[in-house]
Amino acid sequence: MSKKIISYNVNGIRAALKKDFIKWLMTEKPDVLCLQELKALPEQIEPAVFEELGYQLYWEPAQKKGYSGVAIFTKQTPLHVEHGCGNELYDFEGRVIRADYEDFSVISVYMPSGTSGDVRQDFKYDWLDFFYDYANELRKTHPNLIISGDYNIAHEAIDIHNPVSNKKSSGFLPEERAWLSKYIDSGFIDTFRHFNPEPHHYSWWSYRANSRANNKGWRIDYHMATAPMQSRLVNASILPEAVHSDHCPILLEIE
């Protein structure tokens, strides 16, 4: 039987819960739900509503209140949950959590955005250097690995509604795109593109200028799977009907 993994930058779990998030979750029924940008501490939500649906909640919040944070909600008890990535600078911002199962591991990751200026763009570049090494080192001990989340980078021109006017925008800078190419070439599969070569599929839309209604978006959320997982990939898709956030969920099914 296949397993459903959904990744979703909810842009505030408390806000999403006010927009029928639980009803959506009851419909989709993922086995593993990777969340990013929770902007809350575990005690700021009512866990029972998720536990009643069979989920165990593993949370890695940012130290700064109302900021960042990742989580994995899972129906199957993991063998081990690793909180953080072992780098104090990034763990302070709640960017990485990993669940290990018998035959695969899943990471929920929230990569930094550089949109607020040069200081954060430099922070993002430092993070990318760190994460490339971190992910490739981790693959040695966890070869069946899925790294899911908001990468804050649109990879190719096909992944963004207007590549020409955005070529100097953070999230589509040549250096960022080159990094993502290098990352994929090191042994990761962009699972959505593995199944879907067509354009106009996005996972994030600006709140400005009716972008979502006009599908003027960016594809910046990914399920990246290591090469040994290729034979187990069943399907990957984007779920734009879910409207709890400026992002939408992305789905991966594995055997």
Amino acid identity for residue 242 in this structure: A
Q: State the DSSP H helix or E strand holding residue 122, giving kind and residue range, or none if neither.
A: helix 118-141
For residue 5, the model assigns a pLDDT of 99
- Name the residue ranges covered by the structural domains of the chain: 3-254
Instruction: Name the CATH topology of 3-254.
Output: Deoxyribonuclease I; Chain A (3.60.10)
Active site residues: 150
- pTM of the prediction? 0.98
For residue 90, the model assigns a pLDDT of 98
Question: Residue 133, Cβ neighbours under 10 Å: how many?
Answer: 9
Which of 10, 34, 58 is CA-nearest to residue 108? 34
Residues 97-144 pLDDT 10s: 999 999 999 999 999 999 989 999 999 999 999 999 999 999 999 999
Cα 135 from Cα 223, distance rounded (Å): 14
For residue 49, the model assigns a pLDDT of 94
SS3 at position 235: strand
